[in-house]
Amino acid sequence: MLRRTILKQRQPSKSCLVIPKYTYSSFKTAVETAEKLISPQSTTTTTKFQDPFSIVSHEMSNLAKSIANLIGSGHPTLNRVSSYYFEAEGKNVRPLIVLILSKALSKIPKSERNRIIIDEFDVTEQEHIKGTPKYGQESIAGNSVDDSLSPLNILHGINPRIILDPLSKPMDKLPEMDKLNGILPKQRRLAEIVEMIHTASLLHDDVIDLSDSRRGRPSGNIAFTNKMAVLAGDFLLGRASVAIARLRNPEVIELLSTTIANLVEGEFMQLKNTVLSEKDNTIENDGQIKNIPEATGKVPTEKHEYRVNEQDIVDHETNVQAAFEYYLHKTYLKTASLMSKSCRAAAVLSGAQDPIIENCYQFGRNLGLCFQIVDDMLDYTSSDSAFGKPSQADLKLGLATAPILFAWKQEPKLGDLIARKFKETGDVEIARRAVEKYNGLEKTREMATNYCMAALKNLRSLPESDARSALELLTNSVLTRSK
Ligand code: FPP
Ligand code: MG
């Protein structure tokens, strides 16, 4: 019902706000544009800038195939739904970052990568090398990172302890390409896992957001129904969890598991999309306000850290500041957590020391915040066809992102519209005009630029290399991208 309303309300693309200062181009063109934007400070050596795609093209071209190997199910329709988003060309920015960062980390001399023993083994050969006893007679799955995690007969109830013998056999061949490229097999697997988690979250997100398109095609919920899209997302997470466990690194397992929880926390913050008041125990569902059941007290529940007493928020400035804090926290959980923790995981797997690990985490965090803030800006400026998904959807979904928060700072009356989630006739248009009038998009871009600069600074902790230059380029291109 609500979806239909949203579709009906969608403005034709010509009504998009246009910021003439910036040219919007494809991600690839954005990379080229970014090349020109790179600060002279980072171009002082003979290192040539690389197209970020080409530096890990081998791994990137195999990404979808490797993921397909990981997610295979014996159920053909489940296979179809869970691989649906991998068929269309996505930005793949998360695995791209993990792979290039891994390559950049490999340039640190091994003598300085002694935080842990560098784990150069493939995900399937390590236990054999450590002499772990075999469980099964022969290995059906798991001779290489490319092998399926679960043979089809798992679906028919055969004891996985016998069938899955992924840890007992050495690999036939060592991953030569990985060795040449400096990317460890487990870092390559990490890139795949990150894309699987991200894709699972998109399948769920499109159900929650009542989306009708993604990557230029009908979204999963439209193509297959809500039920199948949700289950396929759950299935991807299940498969990703096995792959995470097989990295056999407790720190990395913890990091990646936390990202899944963070994604859900971020989405919950977005559902409420406001600083919670003590009295606010309601949630909107399909256009109706629903009461959330009171806690019985039998299970201890922590109060939300943003929950405030009505009287705590007194002046407009404090109110706006709290809203920005909430927005940035939500943005971290929803987008930057996966990027920051996967960058940290790549550094942990490389054996790098603590200061490098911390910089890699901060790089992912700053880049992730920049990425989502730009996304929120593009939601105001792009047309549906250029974006590959419905644009200008945030206001219609009642979401107050950076552009409108900047306008609200200047125009306190907008607080009423934000509070009622732009539900009254004309609210969306008033909000759009206010964003234009108070330069909300320019201020949002400035905010994103600051995070971009901070990410570039984090990268300087890594030795200079083509891979580092490629990461700098990619970081800049996040600012200039059009989708
Ligand atoms: C896209 O946001 C959505 C996310 C970045 C995360 C969504 C997270 C969940 C639905 C929680 C469940 C998580 C898992 C791992 C199953 P957007 O709506 O702003 O972007 P869009 O325009 O691309 O839809
Ligand atoms: Mg969405």
Atom of ligand 1 nearest to the CA of 389: 22
Atom of ligand 1 nearest to the CA of 259: 15
What is each CA distance from 478 to 42, 226, 320, 354, 458, in whole angstroms? 17, 31, 27, 27, 16
3 state DSSP class of 400: coil
- Cα 240 to ligand 1 centre (Å): 17
pLDDT over 50 (residue 176): no
Return the axis-axis angle of helices 466-480 and 27-37, rounded to nearest 10°.
110
Q: 245, 264, 215: which is closest to 83 by C-alpha?
A: 215
Our CA angle for 22, 380, 392, nearest 5°, is: 145
What is the per-residue pLDDT for 2? 31
Q: 261, 252, 244, 118: which is closest to 192 by C-alpha?
A: 244
Chain centre to alpha carbon of residue 196: 10
| Window from 113-127, 257-271, 353-367, 449-463 with minimum mean pLDDT | 113-127
Which residues are registered as beta bridge partners of 285?
288
Q: What average pLDDT does this structure show over 48-67?
A: 80
Minimum-distance ligand to the CA of 335? Answer: 1
Q: Extract the tokens encoding 212.
A: 């009708």
Q: What average pLDDT does this structure show over 430-445?
A: 96
Minimum-distance ligand to the CA of 384? Answer: 1
Which element (helix H / strand E) includes 284? strand 282-285
What is the per-residue pLDDT for 309? 57
Residue 84 to residue 72: CA distance in whole angstroms:
12
- Helix locations, 246-281, DSSP H: 250-272
- Only one residue has tokens 């970052």, namely 97
Q: 195, 339 in Cβ contact below 8 A?
A: no
- Cα 211 to ligand 2 centre (Å): 7
What is the per-residue pLDDT for 50? 56
3 state DSSP class of 76: helix
Which element (helix H / strand E) includes 193? helix 185-208
Per-residue pLDDT tens over the stretch 374-394: 999 999 987 666 656 656 788
What is the per-residue pLDDT for 5? 28
Q: 340, 356, 338: which is closest to 348 by C-alpha?
A: 356
Atom of ligand 1 nearest to the CA of 379: 22
What is the per-residue pLDDT for 151? 47
More confident residue, 134 or 81: 81
What is the per-residue pLDDT for 341? 96
CATH number of 27-480: 1.10.600.10
Q: Indicate the pLDDT class of residue 289, thresholds 50, 70 and 90.
A: confident
What is each CA distance from 137 to 124, 134, 140, 172, in whole angstroms? 16, 8, 9, 17
pLDDT over 50 (residue 46): no
pLDDT over 90 (residue 82): yes
Q: Extract the tokens encoding 467.
A: 């891979």
| The model's pTM | 0.81
390 CB-side CA count, 13 A: 21
* Beta strand pairing call for 217-218 and 282-285: unpaired
